[in-house]
Amino acid sequence: MPAESRPRYANFPESDPKVVIGPNINATTAKQLSRLSIGTYEMSVSQQERGQITADLARSALLAIAKAGGMTLEPGKNREFVGSYLAKNEELSWGVWVTTPFEPGQSAHIVWAKYAELTGEKKVGIAFRLNTAHTIDDIGNVLRAAQKNAVVVPEGEAYVLKGNPPPRFQKKKAAEPVAEPVAEPASAPAEAPPA
């Protein structure tokens, strides 16, 4: 029996729920998820430019969701992030955070997304993307992934981030036979003989 290992927590922007790095996340990404970033004061000019571009794209992506759902969009007040935004209404809450880089010499940063249902089952979904540059489509995909990953998290327990399993471990689905529709003979209207 393998020994129980301690959970490895991600450096998620909010303290509730705690986020545990789960299975199928590679070691390099797991290391970056648990590191502290350098902060906005230590960023170089190029890091500030890339970070601000990503923050603007994150705001645009969340603004599209907010408009479609009748939500209000609020900027976050946190100096540890290049950008943080929250969109919410009575039923749903969306959040997106753009971290600063981890080292002065590189520009890789994380876009975190959180989806939370405020009523009903109160599901929570969290997703991330680590890259040096992000597009609005990438951020939209992270937001959709957060919604897709939504699960009910019991009070006091941590949310578990799950990566994508390698293809060799996924079960193959047998192809189901496709039933072709049976064509019924069309009854042609009888033509009247010419008079």
- In the prediction, which pLDDT does 40 show? 77
State which amino acid sits at residue 25.
I
| CA atoms in the 13 A half-sphere facing the CB of 21 | 20
Residues 150/117, Cβ–Cβ less than 8 Å: yes
pLDDT tens per residue, range 162-182:
877 777 655 666 555 555 555
pLDDT (mean) for 78-94 = 89
Q: What is the pTM of this model?
A: 0.79
What is the model's pLDDT at position 95? Answer: 93
Whether the CB-CB separation of 40 and 55 falls below 8 Å is answered with: no
- pLDDT value at residue 62: 93
The residues near 64 (Cβ < 8 Å, ≥ 6 apart) are 140
Q: Under a CB-based contact definition with an 8 Å cutoff, are residues 126 and 161 in contact?
A: yes
| Average pLDDT over the chain, rounded to an integer | 82
Render pLDDT for 144-159 as a digit per residue (tens, 0 to 9).
999 999 999 888 888 9
pLDDT digits (tens, 9 = 90+) for 36-80: 888 777 888 888 888 889 999 999 999 999 999 899 999 987 778
Handedness of CA 99, 108, 88, 66 (dihedral sign): positive
> What percent of the chain stands above pLDDT 70?
84
